[in-house]
Amino acid sequence: MIQLERISVKYGQALALEEISLQIDFHEIVAIVGRNGAGKTTLLKALIGLMPLVAGRRMLGDQDISKLDVEAIAKLGVALVPDMRRIFPNLSVLENLKIGTIGHQPGHWTVDRVLEAFPRLQERLSFGGDQLSGGEQQMLAIGRALLANPRMLLLDEPTEGLAPVIVEQLVHVFAEVHRQGTGIVLVEQNLKVPMKLAQRQYVLDHGQVVWSGTNEELDAQRAHVESLLTTGAAV
Ligand code: ATP
């Protein structure tokens, strides 16, 4: 389990996350949902060691990993698919995937299994990264991250700007990734995809957790949570 205990993070003097606590088991899908600028990307960066904590602790089970950097945390099995996807434009689809296998943990996800999960990539194997559509780039970024065989996959707004049919394919693959034993932290701006996949949700606003609960709790408080995501929390 990864746990954040009352962590705070700053950009310069500006507080971006304030006393956030959350815990995520390696076997679950948890969503972090919030408006533009709520702090979602910063929270993923704090989870993976890309932002120093100015207060609080980051724990992996009983181990305090607050001081570990991003490479050390990646070695513990946490992989991030960033919102900008970071595909190498001059490398082919296959070459981009092979980069994901460098220093990877052996496990379920091989290049062949990634191509089975994303037949579209199989059809585009020799295409350059810059010749792919947004949806194909997202599939490639996810496939490359899976090749590390992470214990937990952090996805930053993976469905943003994609056509509904592509979103459906991604949802299907995320469910398969989960079935194969990888936990998922799914960041989104609305509840549409999280409601299909996640067992629990955290809502962020102004750098704070303003609501958290299970899907059953969400159903019971749907109007309140939707208002947090549209008009925000009172500060
Ligand atoms: P979005 O949905 O737009 O990606 P977000 O919820 O991911 O938003 P963050 O990107 O984490 O939000 O930003 C949280 C706050 O930190 C915002 O006020 C943002 O302006 C600020 N911020 C983010 N990155 C930086 C940076 N590199 N330097 C200074 N401030 C930043």
| 8-31 tens-digit pLDDT | 999 999 999 999 999 999 989 999
* pLDDT digit string, tens, across residues 154-213: 999 999 999 999 999 999 999 999 999 999 999 999 999 999 999 999 999 999 999 999
Residue 235 confidence class, pLDDT cut points 50, 70, 90: low
The ligand 1 atom at the shortest distance from the C-alpha of residue 204 is: 6
**Do 128 and 89 meet the contact criterion of CB atoms below 8 Å apart?**
yes
Query: What stretches of the chain show up as alpha helix (H) in DSSP?
Result: 40-48, 70-75, 93-100, 111-117, 119-123, 134-146, 164-179, 192-197, 215-220, 222-230
Ligand 1 site, CB within 6 A: 11, 14, 16, 34, 36-42, 189
Task: Assess contact for 129 and 88: CB atoms under 8 A.
Answer: yes
Three-state SS for 20?
strand
Residue 232: is its pLDDT beyond 90? no
User: What is the reported pTM?
Assistant: 0.93
Q: Is the pLDDT of residue 103 over 80?
A: no
- Domains of the chain, CATH where assigned: 1-26+35-77+189-235 (3.40.50.300)
pLDDT reported for residue 194: 94
Q: What pLDDT does 133 receive?
A: 93
In this predicted structure, the answer to whether residue 85 has a pLDDT above a threshold of 90 is no
Residue nearest to atom 18 of ligand 1 (CA): 37
CA distance 152 to 50: 16
Ligand 1 mutation pick, 11, 17, 81, 208, max ligand atoms within 8 A of CB: 11
How many angstroms is it from 34 CA to the middle of ligand 1? 12
Nearest CA to ligand 1 atom 25: 11
What is the whole-number distance in angstroms between the Cα of residue 199 and the centre of ligand 1?
A: 26
Both tokens of residue 112?
């062949």
The one-letter code for the residue type at 87 is I
- Give the model's confidence band at 105: pLDDT under 50 very low, under 70 low, under 90 confident, else very high: confident
State the distance from the centre of ligand 1 to the C-alpha of 61, rounded, in angstroms.
28
At 64, the amino acid letter reads D
**Amino acid residing at 158:** P
Q: Which amino acid is at 159?
A: T
pLDDT digits (tens, 9 = 90+) for 115-143: 999 999 999 999 999 999 999 999 999 99
Q: Between 161 and 83, where is the model more confident?
A: 161
